[in-house]
Amino acid sequence: MSLFDNNAICDLLNIQYPVIEGGMAWAGSPELCIAVSEAGALGTIGAGAMNCKELKEAIEKVKTQTNKPFAVNFIVFSPSIDEQVEIAIKSEVPICIFGAGNPERHIQHLKENGVKVLSVCSSPNLAILLERAGVDGVIGEGLESGGHVGDVSTMALIPAIRDCTTIPLIAAGGIFDGRSMAAALALGADGVQMGTRFLCSTESTISDSYKNMIIKKDVRGTHLTGEKLGHPVRVLKTSFTKKVRRLEEENPKKAEEMILGSLKNAVLEGDIKNSSFMAGMSAGNIHEVLSVNKILETIIQEYKQTIRSLNN
């Protein structure tokens, strides 16, 4: 009997380890998705910044290079969401994950076409609505996460969602090693989702300067931009993001203009002066760039050790 026999996420998604690569607009490349799926977890194409042609090509690339399950992550309010969902169905994508909202009107359609559906939420209320709408599992995302965040920590959110839903639950936000994975499962999650840890992998296609910035930060090295604009986003602290935060008070329109395209700059150029390097608090716990295989091997090993030491 292996460690994750009877694990709800492994059974649902047909994967070896209950670990999901968080969908990441711009950063969730086919290359990273392939590496994660091949290593036994669930790789994810981040469709957030892709047009329909780019999405089709990304899916095609992943399907030609791995036979393992993978997911596509969509942003619910994307203007081309209907077309993107049809592309996923036609391309026989096995799993769709939705972020930033309630994907209610797509769920039954996807499920009737054999696609598993997961959705991200940052509150127990949304988790209840998603369960009623028929998703196969929910991803509870705490405020430690990189990217767009809610206002509840992973520590408080996961037990709260566990207590009000019965479907498989994945914890996201601040998970980077076997100890944090064990903690998430102790809180009631069946599996974990990681973004920042996978950003700092050899196979991640983001700029080297982005990876180096993550490695150099300590656990206080992130803060939120966009809080005053109604869409808080966790980013690495830089002089650019400090300026954005000041402008949110003084000149919100200018702050919005500065943010526009700033993640793309980080991923493609690594231009420190004009970029938002989205990353979670766990940037302070990540000290080196490792291969995806090494990341997963280490996490599972540490997870086993942690469980064993708690049992002693």
Ligand X SMILES: Cc1cc2nc3c(=O)[nH]c(=O)nc-3n(C[C@H](O)[C@H](O)[C@H](O)COP(=O)(O)O)c2cc1C
- Minimum Å gap between C-beta 163 and ligand X is 21
- Minimum Å gap between C-beta 216 and ligand X is 16
Number of residues that bind ligand X (CB under 6 A): 30
- Minimum Å gap between C-beta 250 and ligand X is 27
Residue from 131, 144, 177, 190 that binds ligand X (CB under 6 A)?
Answer: 144
- Closer CB to ligand X, 52 or 64, in the complex: 52
What DSSP letter does each residue of 66-131 carry, written as one string?
--S-EEEEEETT-TTHHHHHHHHHHTT-SEEEEESS--HHHHHHHHHTT-EEEEEESSHHHHHHHH
- Closer CB to ligand X, 2 or 30, in the complex: 30
User: How far, in Å, CA of 105 to CA of 144, rounded?
Assistant: 29
Residue from 145, 201, 265, 285 that binds ligand X (CB under 6 A)?
Answer: 145
Site for ligand X in 161-200 (CB under 6 A): 172-175, 193-197, 199
User: How far, in Å, CA of 172 to CA of 153, rounded?
Assistant: 10
User: How far, in Å, CA of 27 to CA of 182, rounded?
Assistant: 26
- Minimum Å gap between C-beta 233 and ligand X is 9
Question: Angle between the 292-311 and 178-186 helix axes, to the nearest 10 degrees?
Answer: 60
Is residue 234 classed as helix, strand or coil in its secondary structure? Answer: strand
Residue from 73, 84, 122, 241 that binds ligand X (CB under 6 A)?
Answer: 73
141 is an interface residue for ligand X by CB under 6 A: yes
Q: Is the dihedral of CA 281, 287, 291, 296 positive or negative?
A: negative
User: How far, in Å, CA of 287 to CA of 270, rounded?
Assistant: 19
- Tokens read off for 228: 């005053």
Residue from 50, 120, 171, 187 that binds ligand X (CB under 6 A)?
Answer: 120
150 is an interface residue for ligand X by CB under 6 A: no
Stretch that binds ligand X, among 24-32, 53-61, 161-169, 211-219 (CB under 6 A): 24-32
201 is an interface residue for ligand X by CB under 6 A: no
48 is an interface residue for ligand X by CB under 6 A: yes
278 is an interface residue for ligand X by CB under 6 A: yes
Site for ligand X in 257-276 (CB under 6 A): none
- Minimum Å gap between C-beta 245 and ligand X is 18
23 is an interface residue for ligand X by CB under 6 A: yes
Structural contact between residues 93 and 115, judged by C-beta atoms closer than 8 angstroms = yes
Q: Which residues pair with 96 in a beta bridge?
A: 72, 117
Stretch that binds ligand X, among 20-28, 33-41, 159-167, 248-256 (CB under 6 A): 20-28
Q: Which residues pair with 73 in a beta bridge?
A: 46, 97
Task: Give the list of residues 6+ apart from residue 242 with CB closer than 8 angstroms, or none.
Answer: none
Q: What is the binding site for ligand X (CB under 6 A)?
A: 22-25, 27, 46, 48, 73, 75, 99, 120, 141, 144-147, 172-175, 193-197, 199, 278-280, 282
